[in-house]
A = this chain, B = another copy of it.
Amino acid sequence: MKGEYRKIINITDRESFPLDSGKELPSVELAYETYGHLNERGDNAILIAHALTGDAHVASHNPQDSSGWWEGLVGEGKPIDTKKYFVVASNVLGGCYGSTGPGSTNPDTGAPWGLDFPIFTVGDMVRAQYLLCQKLGIKRLSAVVGGSLGGMQALAWAVTYPEYVGKVIPLATGLAATAQQIALSELGRWAIMTDPAWRGGNYQGPGPQRGLGLARMIAMVSYKSPQLFADRFGRGWQGEIKSRAELLGAGSGWDSWPGGFQVESYLHYQGQKLVQRFDANTYLYLTRAMDLYDLARGYGSLLEAVSRIGGPVLVVGLSSDVLYLPQEQAQIANLCRKAGIETHFEIIDSPAGHDGFLVELEEIGALIADFLR
């Protein structure tokens, strides 16, 4: 058995789903995938939480299947070994890969929710995943793991359901969104919202492609590192930047004379690639959920929240991460230790920047495999 491949499940049955905002959703569906077998005690499950533009497809289910975003980490004989563990991953609440979100149909109107979709939080995402785990018969999670937004979910899981969660593995994340992270989120949102094709969120069809593409370009600079860009592109020159030529028309002065540097071309390419696979309103809502993330929410302090965690905890960061600074992972580890939780803390020395949690899989795999042992 290779697990379940892109299934969608209604987790609310006929009840509504209450949100942190005080509003509620009439019903919630989550798209999910699973790998391996749940044992009879229902306690060998590992939940993997994805980042901003990720999905439930963490790995391929068979040789013909497309690769997942953590292909190197998840599978038979891999660090998260699906011979041993039942792996579950869902597209987050509010996501655009099959779960209920702003692109879903609003039952009151029969049209997409758009901006009428209520604001939701990382806490809401986790509560929805908890209902999914119940549906799947999981009695207790052996571990919760994720990077970036996925790391926020891992921590929120451990704080919200301490009895239900075993080991906790937050990567490249923090205890609460910083002003810098909020600022960068808002740059992307504003790129989308100032695109006339956004139409106040009521777009049909492709929507604000330029705005979403620019949002991705902005984000990519924060996901990488100055060193990575220097190593990979330096001051390399490239004749044409396709998306710019398309906008400006062939032979226009700006495009034909200066052409572009390779790093510019790379950013345009990344922007256009996301536009093919992501929804603009979803980008607004998920980044907002990240802004609102504060592990202390609902508790007296960060220490009070963290003290609820059973643990053990493995905190991992990347040395060159300019978005979720290594000092933030140090803060997580220090607070966990202060709360008396068994804590392992590693900063991987890498020029990959924040995206290192998606690419430095050898080091991360070794750390996770050790920690799960």
Query: Could you list which residues of chain A lie within 8 angstroms of chain B, going by C-beta atoms?
Result: 21, 115-116, 118-119, 176-180, 182-184, 186-187, 190-191, 193-196, 200-201, 210-211, 214, 217-218, 221, 226, 229-230, 232-235, 244, 247-249, 252-254, 257-258, 260-264, 267-268, 284, 288, 291-292, 294, 322, 325
Contacts and interface: CB of A to CB of B under 8 A. Distances in A.
A291 to B, nearest CB: 6
Nearest to A257: B119
A18 to B, nearest CB: 16
Nearest to A328: B226
Nearest to A241: B186
Given A183-B263, A186-B267, A187-B214, 8 more contacts: A179-B226, A179-B230, A180-B230, A186-B261, A187-B267, A190-B214, A194-B247, A196-B196
B115 A182 contact: no
Contact of A179 (B210, B218, B263, B294): B263
A288 B191 CA distance: 21
Contacts of A116: 253
How many copies make up the complex?
Answer: 2
Contacts of A196: 196
Nearest to A221: B183
A291 B118 CA distance: 43
B261 A291 contact: yes
Contacts of A232: 179
Given A115-B253, A252-B115, A294-B235, A229 B193 contact: no
A119 B262 CA distance: 19
A35 B98 CA distance: 66
A193 B244 contact: yes
Contacts of A268: 190
A248 B193 contact: yes
A218 B218 CA distance: 8
Contacts of A264: 182-183, 186
A267 B183 contact: yes
Nearest to A323: B226
B195 A254 contact: no
A200 B249 contact: yes
A63 B235 CA distance: 46
